[in-house]
Amino acid sequence: MVTLQGKGVYRDICIGRLVYYGGNHETPRLVVEDCQAQLQRYETAIQTARRQLADLYERSIRTVGEANAAIFQVQELLLTDEKFSGAVRRMIREESVNAEYAVQEAGKRIAEELEAVEDAYVRERAGDVQDVAGRLLAALRGSAGIPERPGEPFILAAEDLLPSQAAQLSEGVLGFALGRGSTHSHTAVLARSMGLPSVMKLGPGLGPECSGKLAVVDGFTGTLYIDPDEATLSAMEEKKRESERHREMLQKLKGKKDITRNGKRIKLFANAGSLADVEAAVANDAGGIGLLRSEVLYLDSAAAPDEESQFFFYRQALQRMGGREVVIRTFDIGADKRVPWLATEKEENPAMGMRAIRLGLERPQLLKTQLRALYRAGLYGKLGIMYPMITSVEEVQSLRALEQQVRRELEREGVRFADRVPTGIMIETPAAALLSDQLAREVDFFSVGTNDLTQYTLALDRQNDTLERFRDPECIAVLRLVEMTVKNAHAAGIQVGICGEIAADTAFTERFLKMGIDELSVPPGMILTLRQRIREI
Ligand code: PEP
Ligand code: MG
């Protein structure tokens, strides 16, 4: 038995076989005998990538417009660019290496050269070269790098996972076991919202050789047992049964009110990132959805999602919640949630870069498409629209102006839509909290995103797993900003909720109630735990 100690992300147990996902790993250099076969594989991969890019271009014209879609034409040209292709072919021929390695190395080398150029346009192409190299690598591997799934549910192990990978790979997964990863990252948020027992920061002991081995993830203690001995396995099976019994006991709270013993009511809502989460919200008796992270639509696709597919998704979510409030957040892409189809400048500090509404204001067509879909879907339920990453009153005013434009366009086109949709903002930057008195006059509600508010207040990168000891467990600075926000919201007569992960931490529930928080929005699997806590206060 091997025991690896890390950090628990979702408090539950899962037992199953490990599948190691090596998507983040470098392709090894292999010396081959048949160079001709490797060259042929490379030509076939080019054809596959070319078809994919042509398809992406066609689809993107409809969604992001011709000018933005042109990036895929540029990438198509890069595919056959002599500098890149010539380097790959030369390396295969002269060094007798596998095609994957040649593509990886040529891509790296050319991207580095481009990055060193002064001209910003040329520098930007470095990302395209890497993107094209990644596409060719996937084509050479015959898949998007996703491991073959065993017939039965499994534990997905990896060194680290991007949020987009976690979303794409979650099918059939019992839990995640990661060598690295930060428990405050978006990947951790996703794991919690999917209710998957997961552990992170397990260290270098977790490698591809673990694939196929039986393992236990203990999300309570943050431990991974590989090849557990009989005593450990039976102890873990008992702990799993105990956890199931506790969950069963919580089921009795369904249908009960979210009210304290002295009669204070609070809205207990769920966070969601997919329709499966919406189902989980219903199953766990959430009062509504306080945060639907729409970016999953953007992360999961090869191009910007079009209006129809978004409309369909939002309508389904609203209908499924059957008249209960559903707050949909406009796309929060950028930072760690980079989408490959969007050509953006390489950033030194992406968390403080072109993210969320900044991207929406820079490329209004992208946001307008989303708003159109949202307003149309608003006819099918009780919708609220929420904007992430606000730092100023001017931003909110620009967004409100954009909303108005969208509504006028829909009206002119004779398209039916909901015109009275409450608009809220996330308070997730210190600036927004400090300006909350002014911001409260511009919108209908606030929701505090403590995950980012902590990152930006304490200057603690939420992706960086080495900073754990600098985190203040009491969250004093952040709580002061929350308190200030609540006072300002209430003075202006609007409601304020918390949708960051701290909302689900029962150690803080009483504090939040005392502050006067109107709503807590938590991962669906935490609703009943919170209900139990609220009812005993
Ligand atoms: C937050 O920042 O607290 C939040 C809820 O948003 P996300 O975790 O999606 O950044
Ligand atoms: Mg956030």
Residue 153 alpha carbon to ligand 2 centre in Å: 31
Q: Which residues line ligand 1 (CB under 6 A)?
A: 189, 291, 293, 332, 428, 449-452, 499-500
Q: Which residues neighbour 82 within 8 Å (Cβ) at sequence distance 6 or greater?
A: none
**Per-residue pLDDT band at 26 (split at 50, 70, 90):** low
**Per-residue pLDDT band at 261 (split at 50, 70, 90):** very high
Annotated catalytic residue 499? yes
The mean pLDDT value for 272-287 works out to 93
For position 25, what pLDDT does the model report?
57
Return the ligand 1 atom nearest residue 189 CA.
8
Tell me the C-alpha distance between 433 and 446, whole Å.
Answer: 10
Nearest 5°: phi and psi at 93?
A: -70, -50
Q: Determine which residue's CA is closest to atom 3 belonging to ligand 1.
A: 449
The mean pLDDT value for 10-39 works out to 83
Is residue 329 within 8 A of residue 291, CB to CB? The reply is: yes
Annotated catalytic residue 14? no
Please name each of the domains of the chain with its CATH number: 2-23+146-236 (3.50.30.10), 35-141 (1.10.274.10), 265-536 (3.20.20.60)
3 state DSSP class of 128 = helix
Q: Is the pLDDT of residue 24 over 60?
A: no
For position 300, what pLDDT does the model report?
64
Q: 303-307, 483-487, 494-498, 526-530: which range is least confident on average?
A: 303-307
Residue 428 alpha carbon to ligand 2 centre in Å: 6
Is residue 421 within 8 A of residue 358, CB to CB? The reply is: no
Residue 453 alpha carbon to ligand 1 centre in Å: 8
In terms of C-beta distances under 8 Å and separation of at least 24 residues, what long-range contacts does 238-243 make, across chains too? 239/13, 240/12, 240/13, 240/14, 240/15, 243/11, 243/12, 243/13
**Per-residue pLDDT band at 173 (split at 50, 70, 90):** very high
Tell me the C-alpha distance between 258 and 532, whole Å.
Answer: 9
Q: Which of 183, 289, 426, when mutated, tests ligand 1's pocket best, judged by the most ligand atoms within 8 Å of its CB?
A: 426
The first and second tokens of residue 335, run together, are 């930072």
Is residue 198 within 8 A of residue 7, CB to CB? The reply is: no
For position 248, what pLDDT does the model report?
93
Return the ligand 1 atom nearest residue 501 CA.
3
**Per-residue pLDDT band at 7 (split at 50, 70, 90):** very high
**Per-residue pLDDT band at 77 (split at 50, 70, 90):** confident
Residue 296 half-sphere exposure toward CB, CA atoms < 13 A:
25
Residue 189 alpha carbon to ligand 2 centre in Å: 10
Tell me the C-alpha distance between 58 and 70, whole Å.
Answer: 10
Tell me the C-alpha distance between 87 and 528, whole Å.
Answer: 58
Q: What is the mean pLDDT of the chain?
A: 90
Torsional class of 363: left (φ above 0), alpha (ψ -120 to 50), beta (otherwise): beta
**Per-residue pLDDT band at 144 (split at 50, 70, 90):** very low
For position 68, what pLDDT does the model report?
64
**pLDDT tens track for 332-360:** 998 888 787 776 777 889 899 999 999 99
For position 166, what pLDDT does the model report?
74
The first and second tokens of residue 309, run together, are 């597919």
Distance of CA 432 to the CA centre of its chain: 22
402 or 296: which leads in pLDDT: 402
For position 98, what pLDDT does the model report?
86
Query: Which of 89-98, 174-183, 386-395 is the most confident on average?
Result: 386-395
**Per-residue pLDDT band at 224 (split at 50, 70, 90):** very high
244 or 27: which leads in pLDDT: 244
User: What is the percentage of the chain residues whose pLDDT exceeds 70?
Assistant: 94
Strand extents, DSSP E, 432-494: 445-448
Residue list, CB under 5 A from ion ligand 2: 428, 449, 452
For position 80, what pLDDT does the model report?
83
The mean pLDDT value for 410-426 works out to 97
Q: Determine which residue's CA is closest to atom 8 belonging to ligand 1.
A: 451
Distances (CA, A) of 503 to 317, 319, 490, 527: 22, 26, 19, 10
Q: Is the pLDDT of residue 147 over 60?
A: no
Residue 446 alpha carbon to ligand 1 centre in Å: 13
**Per-residue pLDDT band at 297 (split at 50, 70, 90):** confident
Q: Is the pLDDT of residue 112 over 80?
A: yes
User: For residue 410, what is the enclosing H or E element?
Assistant: helix 393-413
Of the listed ligands, the closest to the CA of 454 is 1
Rg (CA), the chain: 24
> For the chain, how many residues are written?
537
Q: 25-39, 103-117, 309-323, 516-530: which range is least confident on average?
A: 25-39
* Unique residue bearing structure tokens 């059957």: 322
Return the ligand 1 atom nearest residue 451 CA.
3
Tell me the C-alpha distance between 495 and 313, whole Å.
Answer: 27
3 state DSSP class of 377 = helix
Global confidence as pTM: 0.74
303 or 96: which leads in pLDDT: 96
Nearest 5°: phi and psi at 105?
A: -70, -40
94 or 169: which leads in pLDDT: 94
Distance of CA 421 to the CA centre of its chain: 25
Of the listed ligands, the closest to the CA of 450 is 1
For position 331, what pLDDT does the model report?
97
**Per-residue pLDDT band at 197 (split at 50, 70, 90):** very high
SS (H, E, C) 63-95: HHHHHHHHHHHHHHHHHHCHHHHHHHHHHHHHH
- List the catalytic residue out of 14, 210, 475, 499: 499
The mean pLDDT value for 503-515 works out to 97
For position 65, what pLDDT does the model report?
64
**Per-residue pLDDT band at 53 (split at 50, 70, 90):** confident
Is residue 337 within 8 A of residue 163, CB to CB? The reply is: yes
Q: Determine which residue's CA is closest to atom 4 belonging to ligand 1.
A: 449
Of the listed ligands, the closest to the CA of 522 is 1
Q: 87-101, 210-224, 289-303, 336-350: which range is least confident on average?
A: 336-350
Crossing angle, helix 99-115 and helix 35-80, to 10 degrees? 30
**Per-residue pLDDT band at 530 (split at 50, 70, 90):** very high
